[in-house]
Amino acid sequence: MISLYKVSYKNILRKKTRSILTIVGIALSAWVLASLMGFNKGYEAALNKDIDNMGFQVMLMAKGCPYEAATLMLKGGTGLRYLKESVADSILSEPEVERITSMLMQAVFDPNKGESGGISAYLGVDPATFPAMKTFLEFKQGKWFTDPEAFEVVMGYESAELEQREVGDKLLIPDKDVELTVVGILKRTGTQDDGTIFLPINAVQKIFGKEGEITSIGIKVKKEADIAKFEERLYTIPDVQVVSLAQVKQTIMNLMSTAKVMVFSIAVVAILIAMVGVINTILMSVFERFQEIGILKSMGAMPEDIFKLIWIETLILCFLGGVAGSTMAYGLSKVTEILVRKLLPYAPTGSLIQLDIKLICVTLGSVLIIGLISGLYPAWRAASIRPLDSIRSDIN
Amino acid sequence: MKTTTRYIFSIASICLFISFISLSSVLVLISSDTVHAAVGCDLNDPDKDVARLFPDSTGYKTFYMSIDKKGGDPLVREIEKRLGDKFKGLYETADVPYTVYEIYKGTEKTGYIHGVNQKGQYGGIQVFLSLDMEGNIRNFYFQKLTSRAARVLREKSFGLQFVGLNLADFYNYDIQSGKNLSPGKLDNIQNPSLDAESDFRAALRATKKNLILMDEFVFDNKYLKK
């Protein structure tokens, strides 16, 4: 005896084009859903990785206005006061610390920037520790300076573009009348580094007469360390203030949550489109088989048999669409990532869309639940057809 | 009843599809302005700068041009030919956006302000020209200049040497040799300091390039040699 599943399957094959279009609609919705869930998971992981790549999760600087401290961290600028280099040595001995890097920010007034002059800022970094902590920085031209005393510069892309500098060119520090040689141009990063001019820290100390002084210390904390406790201990050091990247991450995540609401609303609409498409297809199929269902009932089929028959048809459509959509999401995740990356104002490096078996199963499960719900009304309409009405009705 | 239900579901599908497209478009539109572009050359303080360069002006409008949009690679080659020099380095590219300020006195257009970036010996140089409606230089102005001779180059007397010149005067200036190939008004422009030779030549190149771009973008190639 032929099973209900086989009958349902054959019914779907009767209108191939319509069934294929419905499956494509469901597949697209499943693709959007799976990609969004993958994005939700991937974005935070990529952001964490980026913060880890930034080299330091905690920044220590001389006490001053916290807003200016945040500006220094995010946009660059000058610190209010100086720390002694010996502070860095004492921090390095803390058990939570994996590594540290000292920095010295200096700025000069350039009278030839605009009508009334402007500020040019220079960041002194330690060539032994800074590049190792900022591993994500890549070079458009050249490389890092190797000599900590050298009068050399590495420029962020935007600062190099503004100064029209390339490797081998000279750069003049106005006011100090010091010539520097450009040894590297960084690629764009989308961070404050794009606008930064990096020099060896010893060279900055010498040029600006700040020997033994620094403006900030970047601290990379060990993975297993309790950052909150460590920060509390850092606050006990006199005249320093602590800026944690955990706060910065929270801000980015808050900004992203707004974008996510927007994107998820698109997913909901896509799912609704698929749902209405399924209801429409199955309902049309029920109306077209009005007489056939009536005959089935007059031959002894019970309302629940008809209900099951129609419901199974819906489930088969949704299952096929779900499988196709999940496969598309998995296979085209790189393409989707390129698209998302182009659209986002800030996208961390690394994989933005992380799809795994669990997410694929969740997608498939969601599509099947949507199918079950969508099939209720058409199945109920089919089950409630009266045999006498259907046989009496005009075939057209 | 059957037809009505079918219609309702079809209309619902269409409405939802339209909402989907609209929402997606909104997302694309609000995100599309984030692509990194090459850096242009804008006035630092347009309101003040326009009032200073055109004291009798009552307002200005801004529009943006790029060689890419105007004519792509063939235009790059044409500009290079007119300039007598190749576009160089990482930053002198066809996608650089150029900001042109149109100056008005009441409803009458009275001139233009336009700047270009130029590689100097020690840093970027920004050369701004204000032009009358015929393309003659009214003012020459370094918005940014890093040079050992910055003080003398930014003196008013240096800029005054450019006043009244136009692209026709610059055509015989050879960028490679830094010489004017036939006697003309350009010979009157003197380098104010021996230290400034490199930046002096960079300023002349920037001025010639600026005038060529304005001829292409605004003056409909009025100065183009046939």
Interface test with B, best of A163, A169, A176 (most B CBs within 10 A): A163
Per-residue pLDDT at B181 exceeds 70: yes
In chain B, domain spans: 2-34, 46-217
Which one of B28, B121, B154 has the shortest CB-CB distance to A170?
Answer: B121
DSSP-derived letter for residue A222 is: P
In chain A, domain spans: 4-50+252-392, 64-238
Mean pLDDT of A173-183: 90
Q: Mind listing the pLDDT tens digit for each residue in A331-366?
A: 888 888 888 777 776 677 777 888 888 989 998 998
Residue A20 is predicted with a pLDDT of 87
DSSP-derived letter for residue A113 is: B
Percent of chain A with pLDDT strictly greater than 90: 20
Which one of A140, A162, A287 has the shortest CB-CB distance to B6?
Answer: A287
- Which residue, among B141, B139, B169, has the nearest Cα to B41 in the 3D structure? B141
What is the reported pTM?
Answer: 0.65
Residue B111 is predicted with a pLDDT of 96
Residue A179 is predicted with a pLDDT of 94
Per-residue pLDDT at B26 exceeds 80: no
Mean pLDDT, all residues of chain A: 83
Residue B4 is predicted with a pLDDT of 62
- Chain B residues close to A290, C-beta within 8 Å: 2
Interface test with B, best of A276, A346, A394 (most B CBs within 10 A): A276
Per-residue pLDDT at B54 exceeds 90: yes
Residue A77 is predicted with a pLDDT of 46
Kindly determine whether residue B13 and residue A273, on different chains, have CB atoms separated by under 8 Å. yes
Q: Taking the CB of residue B213, how many other CB atoms lie within 10 A of it?
A: 21
Mean pLDDT, all residues of chain B: 86
Which one of A110, A266, A273 has the shortest CB-CB distance to B17?
Answer: A273
Residues 90-119 of chain B with CB under 8 A from chain A are 90-91, 117-119
Residue B167 is predicted with a pLDDT of 95
CA separation for the pair B58, A366 (Å, rounded): 63
Mean pLDDT of A217-226: 84
Element housing A142 (H / E): strand A139-142
Which one of B19, B39, B123 has the shortest CB-CB distance to A269?
Answer: B19
Strand B124-131: give its sheet, edge to edge. B59-65, B98-105, B108-119, B124-131, B137-144
Cβ pair A35, A309 in contact under 8 A: no
Percent of chain A with pLDDT strictly greater than 70: 90
How confident is residue A192, by pLDDT bands cut at 50, 70 and 90? confident
